[in-house]
Amino acid sequence: MDEVLKFFLEYKDMIFIIVLSVFLGIEVISHVPAVLHTPLMSGSNAIHGVVIIGAIIVMGHAESTLSLILGFIAVILGTLNVVGGFVVTDRMLEMFKKKKK
């Protein structure tokens, strides 16, 4: 039990962020119209591309050639997620805008 309590104390800041973000995420999109389901999914898909930051950190501190190569691949994959995600979402939403005119 002490271990669990110690764990909580050690990571309390992040546990707070996690719990509050869960509620925030639910609240933020709970009234989305069905029309926007696909763009919203695509947009949030791009946002989890934030994992790219982890890839940059790993690669930036890579010590061996192997970890440099793996990091290189990770950065490419993360960038694909980010750039592809945002561009695809923008393309979808561009069409919504056009038809309003």
For the CB of residue 5, give the shortest distance to another protein in the complex, in Å. 13
Candidates 1, 4, 5, 58; binder of another protein (CB under 8 A) is: 58
Q: Least distance to another protein from the beta carbon of 2, Å?
A: 13
Q: By CB under 8 A, what part of segment 67-96 binds another protein?
A: 67-68, 70-96
User: Based on CB atoms, which residue is closest to another protein, 1 or 26?
Assistant: 26
Q: How many residues does the chain have?
A: 101
| Contact call for residues 4 and 10 (beta carbons, < 8 A) | no
Tell me the chain's radius of gyration from C-alpha atoms.
19
* Amino acid identity for residue 85 in this structure: G
What DSSP string runs through 36-56? GHHHHHHHHHHHGGGGHHHHH
Q: How many chain residues interact with another protein (CB under 8 A)?
A: 81
Residues 10-49, one symbol each (x = binds another protein by CB under 8 A, - = not), give xx--x--xx--xxxxxx-xxxxxxxxxxxxxxxxxxxxxx
For residue 99 the two structure tokens come to: 């038809």
